[in-house]
Each structure stands twice: as C-alpha cells, then as structure tokens.
Amino acid sequence: MAKILVLGAGGFIGGHLVKRLKRDGHWVRGVDLKLPQYGGTPADDFIVGDLRDPDLCRAAVDTRFDEVYQLAADMGGAGYIFTGANDAEIMHNSATINLNVLDACRRRMVSRVFYASSACIYPQENQTSVETPVCREDTAYPANPDSDYGWEKLFSERLYLAYGRNHGMAVRIARYHNVFGPEGAWDNGREKAPAAVCRKVARAEDGGEVEVWGDGRQSRSFLYIDECLEGTLRLMRSDFGQPVNIGSEEMVSIDQLVAEVAAVAGKRVRIRHVPGPQGVRGRRSDNGLIRSVLGWAPEQPLRTGLEHTYRWIAGLVDQNARDR
Ligand code: NAD
C-alpha cells in the first residue's frame, strides 16, 4: 500500500483517480477547493483548501508521500480558455499552484511527482489541417500554443523538468488530449465538447436542432476517463521522464461527434452552426512515443465512452426536468 497525494481531487480526472487508487488498495489524501460535485470521495483524508496558498501546500505535503499527482488547475473547455477573457486568472492561478506544490514537495523530499499537462501546448501552425494535425511530442518547440492556458502548461512542464533535474525528483508529465466521461463539467460553462454535445442532444426533441460552434469541421480526438487513468498510472510507474501524449488516435469532426451522440441517444437531430470559440482546426494524439516507452496505448472506440457519458448526462437532464 502506497501513501499517495492527489491535488485537484475534487475535479473530474482527480476525482476518478482517487477512486481508482482506493480500489487498488492505497492510502490517499485529496486536496481541492471543493469536494467532488458528484458521488462524494473515498479518499482517506481530504483537505478543502486553496493551493495558491503556500502554507496550505506545505500542510498538504506534510510527509514524504510515495506519489504526488498534480491535477489542480484553473481549467475549462473552449468557452472558458479560448475567449481570452480569463487569461490572467488562468495563468496566475495555475502557475502559482505549480510553484507552491513543487516547493512543498522539495521540502519533504518527495521522490515521484506527476504533472497533468495538455495537448494545448502544441504550436498552432501544426494544427491548421482538420485531417493531418501534428501533435508529436518532439514538435512542441519552437513553441507557439494558441492559448495562454497552453503557455502556462508549457512553463509548468519546464518547471517540473527543472525540479526533476536539480532536486532529484522523478517527474512524470502527461499531455492529456480531451478527456471525457461521467462526473465531469457538463452545464457550468467549463464543459468540453463531448459533455456539451451530450447535454444538447439529451435536451433536443427527436428531429430537433443542436447548435455547434463554428463550421463543425474542426477535428479532435477524445479519450475516455478509464483509459486516461490507466495511462497516467502506467506513466507514473515507468522510468520515462519526458512529456508523453495520453490521448486517443480516433479523430472525428465536431459534426461527427454530434452524429455519434445522436446515434447513441437514438434521436435524429439537425445541426445549426453558430459563431463561437473553437480553438485550433485539428488536433489528434500521436501515440508513437507512448507505445514505444510504455508498450501500451489507448484503444477503446470513442462510441463506448460516449455511451457511458450520454447515459450519465441524460439522467441529469431528466432529473433537472423533473425538479422544475
Ligand atoms: P477540473 O477542472 O475538473 O479539475 C481541476 C480541479 O482543480 C478542480 O476541482 C478545481 O477546483 C481544482 N483547483 C483549481 N484551482 C485550485 C486551487 N487554487 N486550489 C485547489 N484546487 C484547485 O479539470 P480536469 O478535467 O479534471 O483536469 C485535471 C488536470 O488535467 C488539469 O490540470 C487540466 O489542465 C489537465 N487536462 C485536462 C484535460 C481534459 O480534457 N479534462 C485535457 C488536458 C489537460
């Protein structure tokens, strides 16, 4: 049984990670501004607190944990990170968290730290094609992310790598590509495309209309939460110390995503394209590196994850309608 600290344990990925680590038999402390919104937490200990506060960070890292997973960030979907309206907050909050966390880990001589980076670090000029975007790990530099969220992630990747070099920590960095699943943001302005599309389809009548931001041809690959956790744990316990993509290689356009969700729901829907933030034109995980260093890569079809996620969101939509 390992002693494990999960930062951002009240969030979507962190909440699921705590459940997985508990199922695997570990002792787990979670830290977040809030408890998970859905279904509570099985953590052995949970600190509700602000990781921007260095004293709180030191209190959270009060012993030499075997593993620290750093997932806390000021975070959201396109409606939150691509409008520009939240850039100062995003950069200030997330960078402060990462600076504090690493300092607290160094003081306690924590030897193994995981950092959740993002596909948003890749240069925008490599993602102008909807069919052949390039997101190979060694193309990150010269850097030119399309959002300040991506720039902060890149800065923090370098910060973790520097602490690894200078303070003898084993640092593991994943570049997550669009993770989705039940118990994530779906209706609060921070939701991402899969959850937003599930909600819109669940609320639509059969034959009704669903709005899509942009022309609907922008492409992405989406990773189901279970495979995200599997990749995270495999990477953390590997000996590979450079950033690695954790994502799916199954790329779809947003219009295709709507069609997939509509098929899962058993509804016919019409798509109406409206102006809205879109991010880059195309993005897909390149899994060459993860395959070669871990001998593993995500393989589950998108449809399987959408079935679980649609069922969960449709249940909430029905419940909201009943409560009204
Ligand atoms: P999330 O927003 O659900 O979780 C982040 C958590 O961090 C939230 O619960 C939030 O309350 C917490 N947090 C924010 N500021 C804090 C603070 N000052 N003190 C304490 N807690 C604070 O997001 P998520 O989808 O679970 O993402 C987890 C990590 O993975 C983030 O670092 C995110 O940038 C990264 N990531 C996620 C995706 C994805 O598709 N979900 C993709 C790429 C990278």
What CATH number is given to the structural domain containing 133? 3.40.50.720
Q: What is the dihedral of CA 246, 251, 255, 259, to 10 degrees?
A: -90
Q: How deeply is 37 buried, as exposed, middle or buried, from its count of CB atoms within 10 A (0-12, 13-18, 19+)?
A: middle
User: At residue 39, does pLDDT exceed 90?
Assistant: no
CB-based contacts of 306, cutoff 8 Å, min separation 6: 194, 198, 260, 261, 264
Residues 160 and 37 in one domain: yes
Q: What's the whole-number mean pLDDT along residues 280-303? A: 97
Q: Is the CB of 228 under 6 A from ligand 1?
A: no
Q: Is the CB of 150 under 6 A from ligand 1?
A: no
Residue 10 CA to ligand 1 centre (angstroms): 9
- Domain assignment of residue 323, yes or no: no
pLDDT of res. 223: 98
C-alpha–C-alpha distance, residues 13 and 211, integer Å: 27
- Domain assignment of residue 51, yes or no: yes
Helix (H) or strand (E) holding 272: strand 270-274
Q: Which atom of ligand 1 is nearest to the CA of 192?
A: 40
Task: Determine the structural domain holding residue 73 and report its residue range.
Answer: 3-179+223-246
| 115 catalytic per annotation | no
pLDDT of res. 61: 98
pLDDT of res. 80: 83
Kindly report, residue by residue over 72-124, the tens digit of the pLDDT.
999 887 788 888 899 999 999 999 999 999 999 999 999 999 999 999 999 99
Chain centroid to Cα 242, Å, comes to 18
Q: Which atom of ligand 1 is nearest to the CA of 15?
A: 26
C-alpha–C-alpha distance, residues 319 and 106, integer Å: 46
Task: Please choose, from the candidates 180, 142, 156, 178, the residue with its C-alpha nearest in 3D space to the C-alpha of residue 243.
Answer: 156
Q: Is the CB of 246 under 6 A from ligand 1?
A: no
pLDDT of res. 215: 95
Residues 44 and 107 in one domain: yes
- Domain assignment of residue 216, yes or no: yes
The total number of structural domains in the chain stands at 2
Residues 24 and 169 in one domain: yes
Residue 324 CA to ligand 1 centre (angstroms): 30
Residues 270 and 122 in one domain: no
Of the residues 149, 160, 163, 224, which is catalytic?
149
Q: What's the whole-number mean pLDDT along residues 48-66? A: 98
Q: Are 147 and 102 in contact (CB under 8 A)?
A: no
